[in-house]
Amino acid sequence: MNDAPCLVELEDVRVDRGGVEVLEVPSFRLHASELVAILGPNGSGKSTLLLSLMGLLPRSAGALRYRGGEVRNAAEMLLHRRRMAMVFQDPLLLDATVYDNVAAGLRLRRLPRPEVRRQVEASLERFRLADLAQRSARHLSGGEARRVNLARALAVDPEVLLLDEPFVSLDLPTRQSIIEDLEAVLRQARTAAILVTHDQTEALRLSTRIVVMEGGRIIQSDEPSVVMNRPVNEFVAACVGMETILPGVVRRSARGEIVVEVADAEIDAVGPGEVGAQVYCCVRPESVVLEVAGAPRRATSVRNAFAARVVGVAAAGAYLKVRLDCGFPLTAHVTGESFTRLGLREGTEVVASFKATAVHVILARPTGAIG
């Protein structure tokens, strides 16, 4: 439980568009200094949730609160929005200098000119834009424009920052550099923030809590390690990178350890399930270890080891994603060094292994939403 003060809250909120319900949230709270990442496929309600928190979408039902007080009328809504800043995918910069773009929100608030200058210069410095202050926004690179967008939002010193996929379509080095600067700013200022993203790496790096959405509902909300390693259902498992999700039937069960029949194989796991129960066995790709077929095996306590054939290889950031056929599909992540050492290519025979404790078991039954 988060003991920090609750800043913004949705309670029993529904949003309809064209007569179709697109958001149903019994409860959502953002606490002071909290960094929440929201994951989910397109159309799952992520952006709708952000817009509802900002008060930019009409609600069919429910309440929006700030520090416990309900936001009821236009005057309260204006004050609510001024406590927050939102960064969209597209920078939407003014046809003006970088300095004037960053100053825009402060000038709307009618701050004295010396205070505007102080806050703009501080924000430009934080995002390494001081040398570009007098450059036209028309002449910025994509990465520079995203930095200006963030600098403009944070120059007003918001209590809450809402980020709707602000790094999409940037190349990896630029994205990592901007994320590093944003992370430092948020930690130093202790600004509460919500980040909508499809990137699990971004979510893990920036967040203190991860929320997974599907069909306008919150399916799981918890600490990053819990969501990543103990998803509540197979949908969440797929969203957080459990690339191996295998349906099976429990054949043996004793003292919290089970044996699951998957295809023509048996997988040892630690988890729930009585004999005969239908379950999903989920394995993260980084938990799978590959060895050359036929090579002497070291003494190990690993109980899951399967003869496998490589059926595909693809780049996956700092790793290579190796798809395997073990009689059932399995995915592993390997480093470039391991890839070369093992001589991996399509058709290579290997032994794939993973610990019983690396298998996350999900009972194959509907799981209710968690708010």
**Structural domains of the chain sorted by starting position, each given as residue range(s) with its CATH number in brackets:** 6-235 (3.40.50.300), 242-363 (2.40.50.100)
pLDDT at residue 298 in the model: 64
pLDDT higher for 358 or 296?
A: 358
Q: If you average pLDDT over every residue of the chain, what do you get?
A: 92
**What pLDDT is attached to residue 303?**
85
Model confidence at 299, pLDDT cuts 50, 70, 90, reads: low
Residues 302, 299: Cα–Cα separation, whole Å: 9
What pLDDT, in 10s, does the model give residues 262-273?
A: 999 999 999 888
Residue 34 confidence (pLDDT): 96
Q: What angle do CA 33, 31, 89 make, to 5 degrees?
A: 70
Tokens representing 148? 């200006």
DSSP 208-268: SEEEEEETTEEEEEE-HHHHHHS-SSHHHHHHTT--EEEEEEEEEEETTEEEEEETTEEEE
What is the predicted pLDDT for the residue at 18?
86
In the predicted model, is pLDDT for residue 293 greater than 90? no
| Cα Rg of the chain (Å, integer) | 24
Provide the whole-model pTM: 0.88
Q: What is the pLDDT of residue 200?
A: 87
Which residue from 239, 242, 245 is spatially nearest to 212, judged by alpha carbons?
239
Residue 371 — pLDDT band, cuts 50, 70, 90? very low
Distance of alpha carbon 46 from alpha carbon 306, whole angstroms: 39
Q: What is the structure's pLDDT at 300? A: 67
Query: Is residue 235 predicted with pLDDT exceeding 60?
Result: yes
Asked if pLDDT for residue 369 goes beyond 60, the answer is no
Centroid of chain to Cα 326: 30
Q: What is the pLDDT of residues 34-57, one digit of tens each?
A: 999 999 999 999 999 999 999 999
| pLDDT band at residue 297 under the 50/70/90 scheme | low
Q: Is the pLDDT of residue 296 over 70?
A: no
- What band does 368 get if pLDDT is binned at 50, 70 and 90? very low
- Give yes or no for residue 240 having a pLDDT over 70: yes
Lowest mean pLDDT among 124-133, 153-162, 164-173: 164-173
Whole-angstrom Cα distance, residue 303 to residue 298? 13
